[in-house]
Structure formats: structure tokens, C-alpha cells
Structure 1
């Protein structure tokens, strides 16, 4: 499990494989917790949990559990099926609750622990967090921003009985998600000459419409914008870390030097020449 600590938050990104009937325990530290599964299905329960001995909960993707833990406790889990398990878990440190949520955030805390509130959650946002890549400082910032977005989504949903307005996230099965990750890998394999969307869709077994909608829901941007941003990120790395000239970096990622400077400045907020000076 990967852990990132920033801005009063602990962010846990979990991926593994489990077998039906497998049991494990984890220690839940004090704080305001949010947990959601992106893949897998488990039963969570135990007499020491905040529910105070409530019946075990069958936990699957599509909802998030939010609860307050005044004291640490042990949480027990049992896998209900073989396969992959993935999830995102957030802990707001006790001293940071008011800083992040304001004085009204105190109503989410109190006592030994409240029963977990289960509210709908955007699977696209959860998978996006699990798929964030890039240079360490930028990735840390993107993860922190996404974690705060997810926390805000869950707190808001809990206060409105789970009702939200806005466009619905397309339903993605585990197989769809796997295909979308395969599509992203194909794009990253050759940023200078990525396949057109119809060819990419055929390569991973999706139709072009589902690929386009699913890609944006899962990774936060359309295919074209994803490729453009990754090209420019890679170009900056080539200039700063490998010492390539501006023209060499531009050609390497599929840009002509004539159009590269404007796109680079829009993406990074500085001209390519300034990146050369950071070597």
C-alpha cells in the first residue's frame, strides 16, 4: 500500500490480489476516515469498529464509507471473491479537521466513533487517483488535490442524502476499466505517434464512443487532451533532466518546433527556454 501525507491528510492507495475467504486485519488510527473500493468485494466488520459491534457490512465499489474514530481500533476484512482489489482511503488527522472543514466540520466528529455513513461516490475520480503518474512533486500535488475533491464530494453527498446534480458518470465494469488502462498504456507507449481513437478503441475491444466517455471519466480528460498534456510533460522532462535542446525535445514528442513553444507555455506557465535554465 502506498501512503502519501500532505495538508493534514493521509492518502492510502491500495492494490492487491485476494482469494475468496481470505481474512486480514488493519489498524485504524484516530481521525476522520473515508474509504472506497474501486475493485473487489469484501465484508468489513468487528466488535471494535465504530459501529460498536454492528452487523458486518458487505462492501463493494460504488459507495464510500465515512466515519470518525476518536481512538484507534482493529478492522477485520474477509474477501468474498477471487481477483483484484483496489481502493482509496483517506484519513484527516484529528488536528486538521477544523483547518480543512472549518468550524462546522466538528459535527462529523465526536464520541468514540459514529456509525459509518455510506454515500455514493464517483468511480471515475477513484480510478483517476489510482492512475495518477508523473514526476514526484507534481504527482503529490495532483493526488492531494484529487483527495480533497473526493473528500468534498463524499461530505456533500452525505449532507444531501446522496443526491447530486450534473452529468452522470458512465457505468464502467471492471473489464471496461481494464481496457481503458490498456488504452492509456498504448498511448503512453508512443506519444509522438499515438493511434487514432477508432484504431485505439479496436485495439482494446471498445467502441469509440465508450472509449471516449470512459477515458474522460476515468482519467479526467479526453484522449486528445491526455496525449497533448503527456507530450508536453515528457518534453519538459527531456529538456530539464536529459539536456535535450528545445527542438530535439519537440520532435521527440511529436511537435514541430514552430508550434511547440506556445503549447509548452500554456501547459507549464513558462517558455521552453526557461526550462533549459533549470538543468
Structure 2
């Protein structure tokens, strides 16, 4: 990153296991007081980038630049060594998770994967897939950023979450979910559906009613509900419920609030919240809160 960007970089981790070979995860936050630029040279293989928040522009090789504003999911498949450039906007915090998988993964355990990716995007040296992330994928990114575990258990947890994130992203792009959603919606409607999601993301605990949300986004309820399902694979209500659960996980794991406050913010009575949280994450909210205090 540029010398004048003054970033605050989060943690990073590396995890590997047979038969995957080279596999590593990096995550964190970076604050940019001024615009900044950097570039990286990558070997053949996969690079996955989940941007949970931020404003940056990326360009692979000599291709056209693509702006990533807000939540974005990017998958790059390089058939040879290649260069990826990043331009970061000033005054914006970047929250991200990235994963790199070496070419030996494609050669040994997932040769069909490389064929599917190549067939979906042509035969150039780098294939790029970019879309809004389904909430199920964004939720995994949040869990990686707020991992409550320590020691060896932490490494195993992050490795498992990294593999889950990669599998879900590949499935998202290879099955054509992102392309199908774009085809089903016009450009203007697509942007309005994204705006509706951004409104809910800004304050999930105080989200407007469905008619109010549709009106604010410039859509009728039918267009919003059908478009939202096409783009994110779930209803508006399901998205909001999941978003509130993810926020509860973040608040509890960071120690920002207690279980009672998390339940209130998520719109649940305490006993129902504990049961719903356990179903979603496999652990009680009190356990996540207690770990953050260690």
C-alpha cells in the first residue's frame, strides 16, 4: 500500500492441509486517510476477495478497472502468473477477507473446477467474476473477522471457514447465480435492489417495513421482492433476519454488548434469541460473549 495511506491492517493467518496444498487466508481492516495504490503479483491459481465494506478499484493485468463500492465478492482464476492492481478511496475503511489457492489444487483435486471456470469466462490468462455477495457468504466473512477462538482451535476454525467460503463462492459463480440475477433485472432495477439491501445493512435493527423499503428504493413491492430473491437467493425478510444475526455475532464477539442487548437489537425476546442463535451458529450467544471477555 502507498506510503501516505496510513492504513491500519488487521490480522492475517495461514492454514494448509493435504490434499489442498497452498491455501492461505488474510483478513482485517484498513483505514485510508488519503487515496492509495498498490499491486500484487500472483501465481497461477485462485484468488477470492470478499469485501464487506469499502471503496476501491481493481484491475487484473491490462483489463478494464472495476470499482467495488460496499459489499462485493470477487473470484479470479489465473492460468499463469499475473498482476492485480488496487486503488483505494480516501476516507473509507476497508473490511475484507482474501484467500489464495495454488494451482496444484486445480491439478490434483479439482481439475473440473478449472474447466468450469474457464468455460464460463473464455480462454484469457485471467478470468474474473464479480458480484454482490449473497448474505450467506458475507456471514462467513464476518465470522472470520470476529473469530472468538484461540490457539490451535482458532487455526482449524479459520481453515474450515475459509474452505466453506471458497466452496460457496465457487458454487455461486459456476452455477451462474450472479449472471442469472443480472439477466433477470435491468441495470436500473439491479441498482435499486442493491440500494434496498444497503438501507437494511446500515441499520438492521431499525429497518423499515417492506412497503417503506420498496418506496425508498424506487420500486414497487413485487419488483423488490422478486428482484431481491433473484440477486441474493432469499426473501427480504430472510435477509434481514440473517443480517441481524450476523450483527449480533459481531457485537457479542467484540464485547460491544451483552446478550440481552443483542437480543433486543435483533428484534427477539431473550429465550427465542438464544434458540435462534444456537440454530444459526451452533453455539449459544452467552458462550460467544464469554469468549470475548477472555
Shorter-chain TM range is: 0.5 to 0.7
Return the TM-score normalized by structure 2: 0.59
1:89-130 C-alpha deviation (Å, 9 max, x unpaired): 1111111224443x3123136966233012443211111111
SS of residue matched to 2:64: coil
Aligned in 2, Cα 1:229/1:2: closer, same or farther, shift over 3 Å?
closer
- Structure 2: runs of 5+ lacking an equivalent: 1-10, 178-229
Q: Partner of 2:42 in structure 1?
A: 28
Equivalent residue in structure 2 for 1:44, among 50, 58, 69: 58
Q: How far apart are residue 154 of structure 1 and its match?
A: 1.0
Q: Partner of 1:2 in structure 2?
A: 12
Inter-partner Cα distance in structure 2 for 1:156 and 1:15? 27
Q: Partner of 1:92 in structure 2?
A: 101
Q: Partner of 2:128 in structure 1?
A: 116
Q: Partner of 1:150 in structure 2?
A: 165
Q: How far apart are residue 196 of structure 1 and its match?
A: 4.6
* Contact map agreement 1:21 1:80 (CA 8 A) in 2: yes
Structure 1 or 2, whichever has the larger Rg, is 1
Equivalent residue in structure 1 for 2:240, among 154, 170, 178: 170
Q: Partner of 2:72 in structure 1?
A: 63
Q: How far apart are residue 20 of structure 1 and its match?
A: 4.7
Return the TM-score normalized by structure 1: 0.62
SS of residue matched to 1:127: helix
- Structure 1: runs of 5+ lacking an equivalent: 190-194, 238-279
Q: Partner of 2:87 in structure 1?
A: 78
Q: How far apart are residue 179 of structure 1 and its match?
A: 7.7
The CA RMSD measured in Å over matched residues stands at: 4.0
Aligned in 2, Cα 1:81/1:5: closer, same or farther, shift over 3 Å?
same
Q: Partner of 2:114 in structure 1?
A: 106
Q: Partner of 2:175 in structure 1?
A: 160
Give the helix-richer structure, 1 or 2. 2
Inter-partner Cα distance in structure 2 for 1:96 and 1:86? 27
Q: How far apart are residue 14 of structure 1 and its match?
A: 3.1
Inter-partner Cα distance in structure 2 for 1:26 and 1:104? 27
Aligned in 2, Cα 1:145/1:82: closer, same or farther, shift over 3 Å?
same
Q: How far apart are residue 54 of structure 1 and its match?
A: 2.2
Q: Partner of 1:181 in structure 2?
A: 250
Aligned residues: 214
Inter-partner Cα distance in structure 2 for 1:118 and 1:64? 6
* Contact map agreement 2:25 2:162 (CA 8 A) in 1: yes
* Contact map agreement 1:16 1:85 (CA 8 A) in 2: yes
